[in-house]
Amino acid sequence: MDMLFPMMLEEAKKMPYYVTSVGTQKKQGHICRKKGFGYFHWLHSTKGEGMLIIENKEYLIKEGMGFFYYPGIPHEYFPVKEPWSSKWLGFDGNQVAGLLGILEISQFEVFYLKNMNLFNTLLEDIYNALNSKNPDYYYKGSALLYHFMIAMKTWTSKSDSHRATDAIQKLQPVVEYISHKVDQDISLEQMADIIGITPSYLCKLFKKAYNMTPFTFINHQRVRMAKEYIIQNPHAKINDISFHAGYNDTSYFCSVFKKFTGYSPAIFRKNYLGK
């Protein structure tokens, strides 16, 4: 995912929620906006550390943390441990403030992410929807943005003492191993051995960090890989997509894909690519 600034059609601006920008910054630079930003803005750190200054307070933004602010709030942020990499989202809409109020999200917030991979996937889905050739891309973007704002409430914590933070850090070598072996068979024992713990304790850590089992986490990654493969290879056969994502049983792959996305692989391809 690079950067995307979707065309702001009048139809898009009529939506209750719409995306103005989404992207990845591998080397986040120094940003100083004395008059604030023109839209609602989210950013989370995927590597390194940065400093956020807002309302005369300083916040160290470590990997797995994020921040959010309303339009017009002066702020400044810059890297303190480089490279500082981030993913961000700009959005607006006449119903955004109302929904955020219901979710009790203030005009600026600093968050600890309970599941950074979830937010990465949500932003990738938004990017892919808005980067599609479908003329109604802004409908899909609006729906996905709604889900993202819900995740801002349900998948974040405002406390630095949240136990998920330590669990996420401890599991990082396992998550990296999964990312490299996701298309292969992976056992609980293999994952547990990486950080020298028992399979039972590994399951407890995954529950604490991501609120899911290790194999559910793996399925999330495989479905993400399958979606990327579908978009990059629009004419691929379903069994080829299944094999690429690490599933030998195509029927099982289709059931898992639908469980996690709400669509079959074929319907997902049609919705995103019009094929």
Other Cβ atoms within 10 Å of 251 Cβ, number: 11
What percentage of residues in the chain have a pLDDT greater than 70? Answer: 96
- Reported as type and span, the H/E element at residue 194 is helix 188-194
Treating both helix axes as pointing N-terminal to C-terminal, what angle do 163-181 and 199-210 enclose, rounded to 10 degrees?
Answer: 110
Of the pLDDT bands very low, low, confident and very high (cuts 50, 70, 90), residue 274 is: low
**Which residue has tokens 């899909």?**
140
Domain residues of the chain, as ranges?
Answer: 3-157, 163-273
Give the CATH H-level superfamily of domain 163-273. Homeodomain-like (1.10.10.60)
pTM for the full predicted model: 0.60
- Inform me whether the pLDDT recorded for 55 exceeds 60: yes
DSSP for 3-58, written as a single string: EE-----HHHHTSSSEEEEEEEESS---EEETT--SSEEEEEEEEEEEEEEETTEE
Give the CATH H-level superfamily of domain 3-157. Regulatory protein AraC (2.60.120.280)
Q: Please state the separation of Cα 89 from the chain's center in Å.
A: 10
What is the mean pLDDT of the segment spanning 11-27?
Answer: 92
Q: What is the pLDDT of residue 163?
A: 58
Q: What is the pLDDT of residue 161?
A: 45
For 73, 117, 119, 187, 241, the CA distances from 46, given in Å and listed in that order, are 24, 10, 10, 27, 28
DSSP for 156-173, written as a single string: EES-TT-HHHHHHHHHHH
What is the mean pLDDT of the segment spanning 80-91?
Answer: 95
What is the mean pLDDT of the segment spanning 9-21?
Answer: 89
